[in-house]
Structure 1
Amino acid sequence: MKRLILLIIPFLALPNFAQVLSQEGRIYTEADTLRGSLRAERAYDVLKYHLKVRVEPEERYISGSNTITFEAGKQLPVMQIDLFENMKIDSIIHRNEKLDYNRKFNAVFVDLKQPVQKGERDSILVFYSGNPLVAKNAPWDGGFVFEKDNNGDHWIAVAVQGTGASLWYPNKDHQSDEPQEVLTEVEVPTGLMNVSNGRLVSQKELEDGYTRWSWKVINPINNYNIVLNIGNYVHFSDTLKKDNYRNLDLDYYVLPYNLEKAKKQFEEVKPMMDCFYEKFGEYPFVEDGFTLVETPYLGMEHQSAVAYGNHYMKGYLGRDLSGTGIGLKWDFIIIHETGHEWFGNSITARDIADMWIHEGFTSYSEAVYIECRWGKEEALEYIKGIRSVIANDKPIIGEYGVNSEGSGDMYFKGSNLLNTIRSIYNDDQLWWKTLRDYTTTYRHQIITTEITEEFFNKAITVDLKPVFDQYLRHAAVPLLQFRIVEDRVSYRWQADVKNFEMPVDIFVKNKELRITPTSSWQQLPAGVKPNDIRINDRKYYINSNLSSL
């Protein structure tokens, strides 16, 4: 879910976008660099977080601590952690000593009186408090959501992707580093429940009118995925049992008056999981289980605690993003956000400039689900339909090292790129094997665009490098040009990438023909007229001047 909404169709904001998008011509600041770069003070690997938070709903106030366990990558005399500057640091403790620190914007530079040596494992304890940033329109802008449900009970959640998890707890707020496990303990007024990531390990009623809910996740997790969800929830559960796989616990937390609607709507989870298991492999976080949590905002891919706010409707809030009708056959938020468990949560981009790795593949998972349920033809029709919200305004890949994403086209242009590459493969068995091998090979890993490009390139003889380069690093899609010279139809690619080459399927007199245009003119067989030619535009996302001939 993006912070800057691209109003590509006037009534509809793009779905589920992270909260930060770079703007063309943006001047990056020191604060951007402190957040987006891996400085010497960040030369450590986070191993664990133990987050303790008390939430006071009426005051919209939180207080608590985070124990950050880490391993130093080099000698560490000064350590950078991150916490938004509107939040107060009460104290920082290391080896039983209170430490001095300096703040610069949202970065906190901690003076370690006893420097941590390279390879040494250690921890610091940060106490903090304050009124966290409140989102104006979550999840498109990051922050807390303080709402009340229809019964007047507090209903509180947080969504911070892009804006930063450091808006509500101290951490190393860079996407390249994930704790291997997290214990999240949230104290809320007794009578309310908190749901966080992973599994509930304890519930303890305290003496002061609060109850502590402790949740633990034992798989690597992005900072922005660590969440709390507070409400008067009711719980129901199920189990996914599949041959040759471990059983997967399915848990659902919803508002009590939505229980029956949720039981019906969430029946879609099992066929979705059947599809994703087949195409992407086993759910990546079986040990932590899979949970859907009803939230006061639309949705987010919070790992093992997926946020759901689609109001138990088919489509995207009852709309079909593709304009084909196919998008109204399924619940967009359930499918899209769960797809992120494989793409974004399990496989994570090292820099948010490469967020298309999360969003392009996840948007493609929508079409994968359609294909599993209703067949390939409907999946191709859906992919073609969602092109209506592609802007082609700037490159999908953002700028590195400054906490900058690229265009929101990373979603649907990204999925159309993958569909185009599948068509170039021209071998569905190989395509599905390669896609599944990708999710398996990079399970629980942090990668780059270059790694992704190389993986899909090595599976076939066609060189995909110019294809990735054009679609990811340039705004325009390639233009297939035609011209008539002496009654012969010629064709070539016009693209930003020098010497661009890509095979494409066309129909000539209703017979499908694969051609391999380059930047040089080539001729179709004699006798072919422009009216005889049709682009297979469901399989390839390209532009053409054919209609102007």
Structure 2
Amino acid sequence: MKKVVSTLLLVSSFQLVFAQLTVAKETFTRRDSLQGGLRPERTSFDVQRYDLNIMINPEEKSIVGYNDIAFKVVTPTAKIQVDLFENLQVDSIVYNHKKLAFQREYLATFIAFPEKLNPGTEHSIRFYYSGKPVIAKKAPWDGGFVFSKDTAGKHWIAVACQGFGASSWFPVKDTQSDEPDFGTSVRVAVPNGLMNVSNGRFLGSKDLNNGYTRWDWEVKNPINTYDITINVADYVHIHDNHKGLDLDYYVLRANEEKARKHFEEVKPMMDCFQSKFGTYPFAEDGYKLVETPYLGMEHQSAVAYGNRYLKGYLGNDLSHTGVGLLFDFITIHESGHEWFGNSITSKDIADMWIHEGFTQYSEIVFVECQFGYEKAMQYANGLQQNVRGDSPIIGHYGVNKEGSGDMYPKGALLLNTLRHIVADDAKWWSMLLKYSETFKKQIITHQDVVDFFNKESGMELTPIFNQYLRYTEIPKLEFRKDKKGVAYRWVTNEKNFSMPVDVMIKGKKVRLNGTNDWKTVNSKVKSPQEIQPIKEHFYIRY
């Protein structure tokens, strides 16, 4: 990507970058259903742990190895679905020292057991595979492997697969609805002189005496399958600790000096996020930034960083206000995902706004922590220019289909609006903290979010969530003169809509409790021009 890009390209690319989601479409195939659906072959078992062991050949751009999949049976079954992209070879699947029969349909591998497995029992299969994984053409805007070289000509390899599918590079139950309850280990052998960095803690390395060294990592926590990652390069390791939390940075050798200075921003970020969202969710696994040949991704406890040690987004300001150049967008945004997306995960990709809306809002929160409320509102208001209004934010369920890229700015603006609807900052921050802690390390749905904020706010916010997330239009505040002065109402797609809004009238802040029906402001207001909604606090039209 060129450093200098047009505003249109910059906004468009941002709306796709951190999710690398599948191409928007309204017709769906059998493959979509196999990847996004929850049929008995998936719901009958609960993954307990993955233990991945592979070798990467950079010259051939190939991988070979296996994944041990431990699972508990939920409902009686003699067949389960494990996913692996069609271009990769299933070498064999072993259970109790015997090979199992299987059938492949697109990315789904349906595995047959010799007898029915009973609920509550625990089992493990070893899934051997090999081949050349899909190579991303422009990661992270699309999914797949990246085979690159650093400035010294050494191999630099990474993967990005959110939405595209973790099964693009290893066998896995490829759905956000199930995470391995007891963690994951990732063992990756690469040519001597290179290092692999994956999620969690480093367990050690082993020279295999064949020109390869294996690097072993382990995650103690549940983890989204799209977060499981590999990063191969001639890395330098920088270790730090902030108030008891391990901070580790793996950067290209040539960038060590600038990285030591640049990543100091992590410490105030951690102070801010932990004060607002609760303790860092994955302290057992530590926090890492890993330099990658693509822009960024929220890989749990191994956050991918490729922003070239610049402020903003590749040196540009997505808020168009100047405020976005006060911090490194990738560091802040992708780290915010540790709370929203990695800790709190949506069950279906259709609800990906739960990841992206809250995480873009975390940028606003960071700005407020560091630079004050006015700068935060300036930044939030600037994000309005990035909303395209092309399609609803909530996507289609069961077919691996996300909603509009507006889930980023519009989702964040919805939360900023909710804060000012609540109109009590102490209550708002308490709610946000409780939200993060209530659903910590859980898989949730859109309705869980709505129910939580309804209960904690003591307000009926459902119509507001619906209007912003299920329709392209935002609420429009209309005014007209009537016999008693000036009347107002909300124009919305959502029926029975109501939402308070703060306006300025003759220098004073006034709260209007609008509905779809006309209401009179008061007899002293003679003209709609006397009323000015506070646009920095409420994302509305008027």
TM-score (norm. length: structure 1): 0.95
Secondary structure of the structure 1 residue equivalent to 2:92 = strand
8 Å CA contact 1:186–1:212 kept in 2: the answer is yes
**Which residue number in structure 2 is paired with residue 3 of structure 1?**
none
**Structure 2: distance between partners of 1:500 and 1:209:** 66
Secondary structure of the structure 2 residue equivalent to 1:517 = strand
Is structure 2 residue 114 aligned with structure 1 residue 113?
Answer: yes
Q: 2:294 aligns with which of 293, 297, 302?
A: 297
Q: Unaligned stretches of 5+ in structure 2?
A: 1-5
**Which residue number in structure 2 is paired with residue 543 of structure 1?**
541
**Which residue number in structure 2 is paired with residue 222 of structure 1?**
224
**Which residue number in structure 2 is paired with residue 547 of structure 1?**
none
Report how far residue 114 of structure 1 moved.
2.9
**Structure 2: distance between partners of 1:532 and 1:486:** 16
Classify 1:273/1:119 alpha carbon distance in 2 versus 1 (closer, same or farther; 3 Å): same
Secondary structure of the structure 1 residue equivalent to 2:267 = helix
8 Å CA contact 1:22–1:406 kept in 2: the answer is no
Worse-superposed segment, 487-496 or 499-508? 487-496
The one-letter amino acid of 2:409's match is: F
Q: 1:531 aligns with which of 529, 532, 540?
A: 529
Classify 1:131/1:22 alpha carbon distance in 2 versus 1 (closer, same or farther; 3 Å): closer
Q: 1:232 aligns with which of 231, 234, 239?
A: 234
Secondary structure of the structure 2 residue equivalent to 1:344 = coil
8 Å CA contact 1:8–1:390 kept in 2: the answer is no
**Structure 1: distance between partners of 2:272 and 2:319:** 21
Secondary structure of the structure 2 residue equivalent to 1:257 = helix
**Which residue number in structure 1 is paired with residue 29 of structure 2?**
29
**Which residue number in structure 2 is paired with residue 39 of structure 1?**
39
Q: Where does 1:358-437 land on structure 2 (aligned, <5 Å)?
A: 358-437=355-434
Tell me the alpha carbon deviations over residues 440-488 of structure 1, each in whole angstroms, 9 at most, x when there is no partner. Answer: 1111000011011111111223311110111111111011011123472
**Structure 1: distance between partners of 2:488 and 2:398:** 40
Is structure 2 residue 80 aligned with structure 1 residue 79?
Answer: yes
**Which residue number in structure 1 is paired with residue 324 of structure 2?**
327
Q: 1:192 aligns with which of 188, 191, 194?
A: 194
**Which residue number in structure 2 is paired with residue 59 of structure 1?**
60
Secondary structure of the structure 1 residue equivalent to 2:357 = helix
Is structure 2 residue 155 aligned with structure 1 residue 154?
Answer: yes
8 Å CA contact 1:21–1:407 kept in 2: the answer is no
Report how far residue 14 of structure 1 moved.
1.4
Is structure 2 residue 318 aligned with structure 1 residue 316?
Answer: no
Q: Unaligned stretches of 5+ in structure 1?
A: 1-6, 242-246, 545-549
Report how far residue 48 of structure 1 moved.
0.5
The one-letter amino acid of 1:251's match is: D
**Which residue number in structure 1 is paired with residue 3 of structure 2?**
none
Tell me the alpha carbon deviations over residues 32-82 of structure 1, each in whole angstroms, 9 at most, x when there is no partner. Answer: 111111111112100000100100001000000000000011112011100
**Which residue number in structure 2 is paired with residue 68 of structure 1?**
69
**Which residue number in structure 2 is paired with residue 276 of structure 1?**
273
**Structure 2: distance between partners of 1:337 and 1:348:** 14
Report how far residue 8 of structure 1 moved.
8.0
8 Å CA contact 1:21–1:406 kept in 2: the answer is no
Tell me the alpha carbon deviations over residues 198-223 of structure 1, each in whole angstroms, 9 at most, x when there is no partner. Answer: 00101001110100000000000000
Is structure 2 residue 266 aligned with structure 1 residue 265?
Answer: no
Q: How many percent of aligned residue pairs carry the same amino acid? A: 54
Q: Where does 1:335-374 land on structure 2 (aligned, <5 Å)?
A: 335-374=332-371
Worse-superposed segment, 9-18 or 370-379? 9-18
Q: Where does 1:438-517 land on structure 2 (aligned, <5 Å)?
A: 438-486=435-483, 488-517=485-514
Is structure 2 residue 208 aligned with structure 1 residue 211?
Answer: no
Is structure 2 residue 11 aligned with structure 1 residue 9?
Answer: no
Tell me the alpha carbon deviations over residues 310-354 of structure 1, each in whole angstroms, 9 at most, x when there is no partner. Answer: 000000000000111000000000000000000000000000100
8 Å CA contact 1:494–1:519 kept in 2: the answer is yes
The one-letter amino acid of 1:70's match is: F
**Which residue number in structure 2 is paired with residue 244 of structure 1?**
none
**Structure 2: distance between partners of 1:192 and 1:27:** 44
**Structure 1: distance between partners of 2:474 and 2:80:** 44
Tell me the alpha carbon deviations over residues 513-539 of structure 1, each in whole angstroms, 9 at most, x when there is no partner. Answer: 001111111112224222221110000
**Which residue number in structure 2 is paired with residue 253 of structure 1?**
250
Secondary structure of the structure 1 residue equivalent to 2:54 = strand
8 Å CA contact 1:8–1:391 kept in 2: the answer is no
Tell me the alpha carbon deviations over residues 378-419 of structure 1, each in whole angstroms, 9 at most, x when there is no partner. Answer: 101100101101011211101111111001110010000000
**Structure 2: distance between partners of 1:300 and 1:121:** 33
Secondary structure of the structure 1 residue equivalent to 2:319 = coil
Secondary structure of the structure 2 residue equivalent to 1:14 = helix
TM-score (norm. length: structure 2): 0.97
The one-letter amino acid of 1:429's match is: A
8 Å CA contact 1:8–1:389 kept in 2: the answer is no
